[in-house]
Amino acid sequence: MTDNPLLLKFDTPFQTPPFDLIKAEHYKPAFVEAMRQHRAEIDAIINNPQEPTFENCIIPLDRSGLLLERVASIFFNLLAAERNDTMQNIAVEITPLLSEHSDNIGMNPLLFNKIKAVYTQREHLGLEPLALRALEKFYDDFVRKGANLDQKDKDRMMEINAGLSVLSLQFGDNLIKETNAFQLVVADIHDLSGLPNTHMAAAAEEAKAAGFEGQWLFTPKKTSWIPFLQYAQNRELRDQLYQGYYMRGDRNNENDNKAIIQKMVNLRLEKAKLLGFGTYADYVIDNNMAKTTDNVYDFLNRIWTPALQVVKEELAAMQKIADRERAGFDIESWDWWYYAEKLRKQKYDLDESEIRPYLLLENVRDGMFYVANQLYGITFEKREDISVYHKDVEVFEVKEADGAHLAVFYVDYAVRLGKSAGAWCTGFRNYLKTEDEEVFPLVSIVCNYPRPIEDKPVLLSWDEAETLFHEFGHALHGFFTRGDYRRIAGDLPHDMIELPSQIMEHWAGEPQVLKEYAKHYQTGIPMPDVLINKITNSAHFNQGFMTVEYVAAALLDLDWYSLNQTFEGDVNAFEKAAMDKKGLIKEMLPRYRSTYFSHIFDGGYSAGYYAYLWAEVLDSDAFSAFKQSGDIYNQELASKFRKYILAEGGLDDPMEQYKRFRGQAPSEEPLLKKRGLK
């Protein structure tokens, strides 16, 4: 009998992971045993002497690999949130094995022949629609993995996948090391003129923890560098810190990512061509709502043209401020945040520092819980009896309106060493329904918000508050996903997956919602109407910049993966040519330069970064339905959104599901208005 907690039934509330018992040495043997069990499950399907049917082939395939999914979800979620050398070494060792395991199943000719036999008879089997969709999805998965290739090409595909798995891991590890390595240490308080006291206090705490007591430390982490660029009057230091951010992975050192990018782009191109596609972008987008690479380029260009005009107007307005102050220079990329803040103050009499006192972290959290309750009736009960992987993590039981259990929700707020940058939603277990039981999801949000300093609370920026609502939208999708087949439950296409998250951002800024959660952290008084009006009136502020930097990154992603010949050039030269071709102004950079573009080299967004904006068409159109109804908590619309998008979104064609909710196809008009482009 094993004593490895990863391999035992979790004797915990709701069978949550016993993090207090799991140690690093448990992971590898758990992976090995989980893969062995998964192979046995597949072998049982292959060796079944009966004619393949949906019941003896597709259903057991859909139920296979549950233990491996459990071990992998725990390990890789902790790798992202708690990375250290030990975890990284395990990942380097286990990732190629997982790639090989997946390929051995995905390209197994005996298994594929059984699936194909059922698939070719699908019209005559009397399958109900969900069973038919699951069958079609499985068949398509195996074709896209290379099951139809000859043995020589299969062998090459396995080499490619193994290589990509290791390169992706290296890219992410390099980026974390680069982010942690750069430090801007300031010794003279006069160099911090303009910086609000809260940010100075956070920088002093960072410095103390790093051994620079009595000084101030700034890093390329978002909570550090953005406030510094917004407020610090010292232009030279703004330049230094911004370079520390945008040169990550591009310093020609042991953490340089340029060679990795070249290898990954070429391997992905080779993979796409083996599968019959001209480019890797064609391969990815063929499975999305957009369908073709040309459709994505056309969409991005429709947004790019008006946004570029707006950003030029924003630049001109900021330059006027600099000239009026006799700055004596033309604005550069590291000046943008500083003068944008001045422009916001000038146009709207609004300063970011006015908003923060009303965005206490716990109040923002309670605000998103309130919105979910108003829309869907669900409630959140804090639990202290559920094990967590770090003391910062909070846990809640999520309940239906009638008190029935719905999910367990983990929230990990604070920035720390070893945590990947950004914010994301993930899960330790997905919803599962079998003949014998119904297993409910374990969903988690991970953020990088400032840590509390002594007895001072954490006050969020407006962007951070919106981000919390955004990730909570993904969590709602996780809570509500339902379906009899794992393969299609919750399976939204890549360019629709951000609809559940981005629609929640709309509620975050609604005056009616702000009144509920935006309360002064000292007095408890709700945000005054005059400040709410300023926020509402400034909704289009800096939207040219935000749209252009995003679309520039989306186009860069698409350009990398639209290559149809092996890339042997210079990564930076390629990036510059891509931006010059679109006329990106020299005063700004794309949101992500290639060498730290985690989404497309260390995440699941290769040839898919456009998906955020594509989904914004959907979320802007969807929220306009609530606004037009006269009730932002419209119960009938919320019920439809929960059913057709959140619960059953993967059960039919995504556009048909959207139209069942909305009653019509989406329009781009609400998006253009929201971003001030029309």
> Residue type at 466?
E
How far is 202 from 309, CA to CA, in rounded Å? 37
How far is 248 from 77, CA to CA, in rounded Å? 23
How far is 47 from 357, CA to CA, in rounded Å? 65
**Long-range CB contacts (< 8 A, 24+ apart) of 112-120?**
112/142, 112/147, 112/148, 114/45, 114/46, 114/52, 114/57, 115/52, 115/57, 115/58, 115/61, 115/139, 115/142, 117/51, 117/52, 118/52, 118/53, 118/54, 118/57, 118/58
What DSSP letter does each residue of 396-436 carry, written as one string? EEEE-TTS-EEEEEEEEEE--TTPPSS-EEEEEE--EE-SS
pLDDT at 158: 97
How far is 426 from 410, CA to CA, in rounded Å? 10
How far is 410 from 420, CA to CA, in rounded Å? 17
pLDDT at 109: 97
Output the six-digit token pair for 483: 């379906």
Which residues are designated catalytic?
471
Give the list of residues 6+ apart from residue 455 with CB closer than 8 angstroms, or none.
Answer: none
Strand, coil or helix: what is 446?
A: strand
Output the six-digit token pair for 242: 């911004």
Produce one character per residue of 650-676: b if its CB has 16 or more CB atoms within 10 Å, e if not. Answer: bbeebeebbeebbeeebebebbbebbb
Domains of the chain: 5-106+108-148 (1.20.1050.40), 182-246 (no CATH), 356-537 (1.10.1370.40)
pLDDT at 362: 98
pLDDT at 256: 98
pLDDT at 437: 87
How far is 197 from 228, CA to CA, in rounded Å? 12
pLDDT at 627: 97
pLDDT at 454: 83
Candidates 491, 483, 461; CA nearest to 650 is 491
Candidates 241, 119, 248, 329; CA nearest to 593 is 248
Counting every residue, how long is the chain? 678
pLDDT at 1: 52
Token pair 């909710």 is found at 661
How far is 273 from 563, CA to CA, in rounded Å? 11
Q: At what angle do helices 611-629 and 543-561 cross, to 10 degrees?
A: 140
How far is 461 from 223, CA to CA, in rounded Å? 9
- Averaged pLDDT, groups of 10, the chain, 678 residues long: 90 98 98 98 98 98 98 97 95 96 97 98 96 97 97 97 96 95 97 94 94 97 95 98 98 98 98 98 96 97 96 98 97 98 94 93 98 98 98 97 98 93 96 90 96 90 96 98 95 94 97 98 97 93 96 98 98 98 97 98 96 96 97 98 97 95 95 90
pLDDT at 401: 97
Report the DSSP beta bridge partners of residue 185: 217
Q: Is 331 left (phi over 0), alpha (psi -120 to 50) or beta?
A: beta
